[in-house]
Structure 1
Amino acid sequence: MIALLAPSRAIVDAVYAKALSNGATCDGPPGLRPHYHPDYYGAYFFDRDGNKLCICFHDACPSSSISR
């Protein structure tokens, strides 16, 4: 599996939607995954070649401009 870090939850949602519209299959829609950590927001899909991908965002406040 390849995981890609997104800059926001909105990007996770957009990448997931675009992947599915281009023939990917869902392996977990966008959402919080608190079993990884409380702020993990991700989506999973298989591309048309069968590769599993994840797009995720890790910040607690998606609209925050606080520097880390």
Structure 2
Amino acid sequence: MIGYVTIGVSDMARAKAFYASLLADLGAKVLLDMERIAFVGKDMKSPMLAVCKPFDGQPNHPGNGNMVAIHPGSKEAVDTFYHRAIELGATCDGEPGQRIPNQFYGAYVRDPDGNKLAFYHFG
């Protein structure tokens, strides 16, 4: 259902490197780079994450309440992605842990531009 989600960034080179490295184990890479916007994903038919400099030329601002949730496949992978994001320059916004007993395991970070990401696993 979702084609892609777009987040605003201040430094395209940094954002592309961050997300391509972070999501490489899921088979993602920069698929389309048009200077102001780039699409990261497995292929153009699967859901993608787009990073862009805002069209209006104003500074990017992470939305309050906006978040991109990534399902890496297991609780162990949630931990791995969380730690990789921190190594790549993200900041902690909630360490990995069980949030809803036996249902939801998650971890939260802010990317270098302040955009909120969740890594999660149900079950």
Structure 1 runs (4+) greater than 6 angstroms displaced: none
Aligned partner of 1:45 in structure 2 is: 109
Task: Check whether the contact 2:72–2:81 (CA below 8 A) recurs between aligned residues.
Answer: no
Whose relative contact order is higher, 1 or 2, with alpha carbons under 8 Å and at least 6 apart? 1
Name the CA distance, whole Å, in 1 between partners of 2:103 and 2:96: 13
- What runs of 5+ residues in structure 1 fail to find an aligned partner? 60-68
Name the CA distance, whole Å, in 1 between partners of 2:73 and 2:88: 22
Count of aligned positions? 57
Aligned partner of 1:31 in structure 2 is: 97
Structure number with larger C-alpha Rg: 2
Aligned partner of 1:12 in structure 2 is: 78
Percent identity between matched residues is 46
Q: TM-score scaled by structure 1? A: 0.78
Name the CA distance, whole Å, in 2 between partners of 1:6 and 1:39: 16
Superposition RMSD in Å: 1.1
